[in-house]
Amino acid sequence: MVRVTFVTGNAHKLHEVQSILEPLIQVETAELVNGPVLVEDTALCFNALGGLPGPYVKWFLSAIGHQGLNDLLAAYADKSAEAVCTFGYSAGPGQKPTLFQGRCPGKIVLPRGPSHFGWDPVFEFEGRT
């Protein structure tokens, strides 16, 4: 069996990946990895802002909060957005990474629902945040 290390600083992402992929993989935290690695990042792209905040959404959210994300779009009629999830896998040192990407169209709404997972309260997909 190949051991893959998933790298994230977000406990909710770790739980999400474990629930999706276990028992296919074992997830291990390490400071230095000398073997296969799986990394993931999610971006939130506002169409009216040409894709911003994109991969910087974590820092936008930290600085201005959920309401601030809404305020960024206050002057725009277009509230559409896209959540973009990218996984990168490398078999080990010196190996070219393979990227996998999923996209989810939605729109930005006033904050509602639980805020356990970053910007979820302001991103609506098919009527749900």
**Structural domain boundaries of the chain?**
5-124
Class (C level, CATH) for 5-124: alpha beta
Rounded-to-integer distance, Cα 15 and Cα 91, Å: 22
Please give the C-alpha separations between residue 45 and each of 14, 55, 61, 84, 97, in angstroms, as whole numbers: 22, 8, 13, 8, 24
Quick check: pTM over 0.75? no
Residue matched to tokens 């028992």: 23
pLDDT by residue for the chain (129 residues), tens only, comes to: 567 677 777 767 766 766 665 544 444 433 356 788 888 889 999 999 999 999 999 999 999 999 999 999 999 999 999 999 999 888 877 778 888 999 999 999 999 887 777 899 999 998 887
At residue 76, φ and ψ (nearest 5 deg) are -115, 140
